[in-house]
Structure 1
């Protein structure tokens, strides 16, 4: 009896260990699949947006339909010789400058590769004098910003130097490039994440800009 009992007791831990091992294996398999499930979910959302004509670059912002944050950014120094498209001197800009006219605010930097890609789109906008095109130089050195504009052309009516990135944070900027539309009351109405392209301009950006200009 004693030997039988010992044999039975010694076999019980083995059964428990087997159960625990199987449980761990089952849990491990779930964690392997979890990233794939998340990826498939995000991919499905992206495809749904595209199928329904949604712009994946148009990310909701808490600042939409709210007044632009208060700021006063210094101009790109005149010694660099960068002029407005109309040949005038290049000013900085502040919140009060938005009042009375529609503004397009482009967040850019000389270190940003995609800013070079979208720059021709901005240069084309200089032909339209119904709005102000404003450049917010994000976390950039003035000399580098000036060199970029000298090499690629200046589309901006004014450029504000946000060297520390503090104003960009207040605007909820994720990184360069980003583009905002601000209406005549100084209210942010639209935000585009990433480089403007012919497709995004035609599909969403320009229709929204035309809507705001018509108000």
Structure 2
């Protein structure tokens, strides 16, 4: 290859392109996962309840503001977030649980022993609803409006800071909830 050949600059051009791609990811919050479903209805589903004989559909997630929390007993971060979910539930925040790819006896025992923050618990044994929601893993929490549309998606544990900064500003006339269960 000649020194003045345009091919000499190919490695340099590749390096510059790679540097631009990598730099574009700097400063992004890794917890922020884009969701194509924000502003759209919860996908259609028909799944059983973990604790009753009921069957739930997307219509079950209409009529009020609520959270849809994706959790599992095999998920260590779900154990970390559980006390805060209990706090929110005690303050009247409706939370529907989506038990994701879990062993049903273990999930029932977990809620019996640790407390149940959920108004309903939907079983997603094969993970299809999770897949339709774009779930990467547990925990993830979705804010659902009364029309059954996804308003917000949060990947990771739901805690006081996340609730205050991300969820609460989107809720009409919401009171802040602290970890101690007190309204601020």
TM-score over 0.5 (shorter chain): yes
Contact 1:109/1:137 (<8 A) preserved = yes
The separation in 2 between residues aligned to 1:202 and 1:146, in whole angstroms, is 30
Q: Are 1:67 and 2:41 an aligned pair?
A: yes
Distance 1:126 1:183, change over 3 A: same
Structure 1 gap segments, 5+ residues each? 1-16, 47-54, 79-88
Distance in 2 of aligned mates of 1:19 and 1:192: 53
* CA displacement, residues 11-53 of structure 1 (integer Å, 9 cap, x when unaligned): xxxxxx5759x98886556656765554333114x2xxxxxxx
CA contact (8 A) 1:91 1:158 kept: no
- Measured in 2, the distance between the counterparts of 1:160 and 1:35 equals 43
State the secondary structure of the residue aligned to 2:98. strand
Report Cα offsets for 1:86-112 as digits up to 9, x if no partner: xxx695532122232222100111111
Deviation of 1:200 after TM superposition, in Å, equals 1.4
Normalised to the residue count of structure 1, the TM-score between the two structures is: 0.68
In the alignment, structure 2 segments of 5+ residues that lack a partner are 176-184
Q: TM-score, normalization: structure 2?
A: 0.78
The structure whose Rg is larger is 1
In structure 2, the residue matched to 1:133 is: 95
Of 142, 148, 158, 1:186 maps to: 148
